[in-house]
Chains A and B, each alone.
Chain A
Amino acid sequence: MAEISTLHYLVVAAALFIVGVIGVLTRRNVVIILMSIELILNAVNLNLVAFSRLHGLHGQVFSIFVITDAAAEAAVGLGILIAFFRNKETVNVDEVDLLKW
């Protein structure tokens, strides 16, 4: 393990991705689910920047766009959460069942 290659960074990114997926699928709190989505986006960013060392700066430019996109999505998602919380007084994702049969 003397030489840290690209594969090492990809394994770390995959581990972060798996942890984010478990967080999205398992938690009840909507805020924690949104934070797990941010973990997934960070894993993707790490992948992009790790590959940009091999193929040029395009990966880093794309990761900047991913961070911008994550900011927009977090803002809108939290706005939706606030609107939902104002009506139902809970942040439990199991309570979001108004469209269920």
Chain B
Amino acid sequence: MNPVATPFFFYALSGIAVGSAIATITRRNPVHSALALIVTLLSVAGLYLMLYAPFVAGVQIILYAGGIMVLFLFVIMLVSIEQVQREAEFNRQWHVAIAASLALAALLLFVFVKGRGIFPQRTLSLPETLNTQQVGLMLYGRYLLPFEVASLLLLVAIIGAVVMAKKRI
């Protein structure tokens, strides 16, 4: 199956992603920032679909946009936002921060300009109908130990979050 209108979807999705990311860091209201981050996550999931990774796109939508961002919204509702609306938005060292970020952007641009010929031009043919099966086989075959360690990490994170947020230990 040949892809259709690939440059249009790529530029639209990446424009929405970067625009919503800028909206995330510039909104005063944290709820607006969380909603803009959800839009960013969904457009990045669309970019994953364009990269022939449907399983990662599904995991991104279900776990990231549907789990982590809901957790963020719950915590934003718990901490008060009335005084946040009245405080200053950016901290005192934002000049140095912008300078450092521009230096990092210049470094990344230099890397991209100098090294644009080292990537192999032809991509692998990853059939998207077999993607979930192959990712599952790799998770349970070669990457079994990181898989189990990740479940242990989630257990530790659950216990840690419950202990942190309890009123009386």
Contact = CB atoms under 8 A, between A and B. Distances in A.
Contacts of B51: 9, 49-50, 52-53
Contacts of B112: 7, 10-11, 14
Q: What interface size band does chain A fall in?
A: 35 or more
B33 A35 contact: yes
B7 A1 contact: yes
Contacts of A92: 87
Interface in A38-67: 38-39, 42, 45-46, 49-50, 52-58, 60-61, 63-65, 67
Interface in B63-109: 63-64, 67-68, 71-72, 75-76, 78-80, 83-84, 87-91, 93-94, 97-98, 100-101, 104-105, 108
Contacts of B72: 31, 34-35, 74, 78
Contacts of B153: 68-69, 72
Q: What 7 A-B pairs come out closest when comparing CB atoms?
A: A79-B164, A23-B25, A72-B157, A25-B97, A79-B161, A19-B21, A75-B161
